[in-house]
């Protein structure tokens, strides 16, 4: 039985500023890029899983695929609210948002189910080492940031860790070939990098009233090199044929967040600072 939780949390997104962490503008920008990217990406994941569900024959994999899809659907909804708040401040960013959705529509129509599942399994496997680095260093990345935005991202990253092996499991069941997945890594990396670059250059053009440092600085400048190298190595190894996300080292915060959720704490404001908004 799949033990992925479905947590429909209400985050207060309406008033959030573009630079939601004044102590770390470039990290604020990177997370905003993720929001603009992730709605299209997660909707694509949901379509792909629906298609996969037509051909899955193992009841356990089926249950995992459905639970994974339901989690991703909620992620898309919540980041849509964040994107809307940013678009309300900078209406031209609606075009950026729509373009990402169109891009994923095109990709969905252009490629096969095997390709989509390789994309899903490959990218989702990279998230665990990357988000571990972020969660391990949440103090320098989120603590002085707006509590609503910080809590949205911490929830999402913890759930990404929770379902870290779901897409991989579905890929292995439906497609199975390591070589097909490995062969397509450069293609899906090009696709995601292309979208991230485009979102950033649109921000640069349309969001003029933020510090230049937001576009120029390293968002992870306050994180030790050793942690960055470990994360990069983890991302690289996550694509190896023998890799299994289930066995990866997890950030201690993951268990802490899940315990807070189980204890009924208000996880919509679990971390960060109450900023005076607007």
Q: By C-beta, is 18 or 44 nearer to Fe ion?
A: 44
Report DSSP state, residue 91: T
Question: Between 19 and 37, whose beta carbon lies closer to Fe ion?
Answer: 37
Give least dist CB 34 to Fe ion, A: 10
Q: Torsion-angle region of residue 272: left (phi > 0), alpha (psi -120 to 50) or beta?
A: left
By the 8 A CB rule, do 52 and 33 touch?
no
**Contacts for 87 with CB less than 8 Å, ≥ 6 apart:** 93, 94, 97
Other CB atoms within 10 A of residue 263 CB? 8
What torsion, rounded to 10 degrees, do the Cα atoms 34, 38, 39, 45 define?
Answer: 180
The residue nearest Fe ion at its CB is: 75
CB of 80 to Fe ion, least distance (A): 12
Min CB(79)–Fe ion separation in Å: 8
Contact 16, 82 (CB under 8 A): yes
- Give the shortest CB-115-to-Fe ion separation in angstroms: 18
In the complex with Fe ion, the residue whose CB is nearer, 72 or 202, is 72
| Measured distance CA(259)–CA(43) in Å, rounded | 28
- The nearest distance, CB 68 to Fe ion, in angstroms, is 7
273 φ/ψ angles, rounded to the nearest 5 degrees: -130, 140
> Can you tell me whether residue 275 is helix, strand or coil?
coil
* 26 versus 245: smaller Cβ distance to Fe ion: 245
Considering the complex, state which of residue 119 and residue 203 has its C-beta at the smaller distance from Fe ion.
119
- Shortest distance, position 252 Cβ to Fe ion, whole Å: 21
Task: Decide whether 160 or 202 has the Cβ nearer to Fe ion.
Answer: 160
Task: Using CB under 5 A, list all residues that contact Fe ion.
Answer: 72, 75, 124, 160
């Amino acid at each position: 039985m799949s033990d992925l939780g479905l947590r429909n949390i209400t985050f207060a997104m309406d008033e959030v500023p573009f630079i939601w962490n004044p102590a770390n503008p470039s990290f604020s920008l990177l997370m905003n890029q993720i929001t603009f990217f992730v709605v299209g990406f997660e909707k694509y994941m949901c379509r792909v899983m629906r298609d996969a569900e037509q051909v899955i024959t193992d009841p356990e994999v089926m249950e995992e695929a459905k639970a994974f899809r339901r989690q991703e659907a909620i992620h898309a909804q919540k980041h849509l609210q964040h994107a809307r708040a940013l678009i309300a401040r900078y209406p031209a960013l609606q075009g950026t948002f729509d373009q990402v959705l169109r891009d994923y529509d095109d990709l969905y129509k252009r490629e096969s189910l095997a390709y989509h599942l390789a994309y899903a399994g490959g990218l989702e496997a990279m998230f665990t080492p990357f988000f571990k680095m972020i969660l391990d260093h949440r103090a320098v990345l989120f603590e002085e940031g707006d509590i609503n935005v910080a809590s949205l991202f911490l929830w999402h990253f913890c759930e990404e860790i929770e379902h870290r092996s779901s897409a991989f499991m579905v890929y292995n069941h439906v497609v199975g070939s390591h070589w097909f997945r490995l062969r397509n890594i450069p293609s899906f990396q090009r696709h995601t990098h292309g979208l991230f670059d485009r979102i950033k250059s649109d921000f640069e053009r349309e969001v003029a009233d933020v510090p230049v440092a937001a576009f120029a600085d390293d968002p992870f400048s306050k994180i030790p090199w050793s942690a960055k190298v470990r994360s990069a190595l983890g991302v690289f190894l996550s694509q190896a044929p023998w890799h299994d996300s289930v066995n990866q080292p997890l950030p201690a915060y993951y268990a802490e967040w899940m315990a807070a959720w189980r204890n009924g704490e208000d996880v919509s404001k679990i971390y960060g600072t109450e900023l005076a908004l607007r």
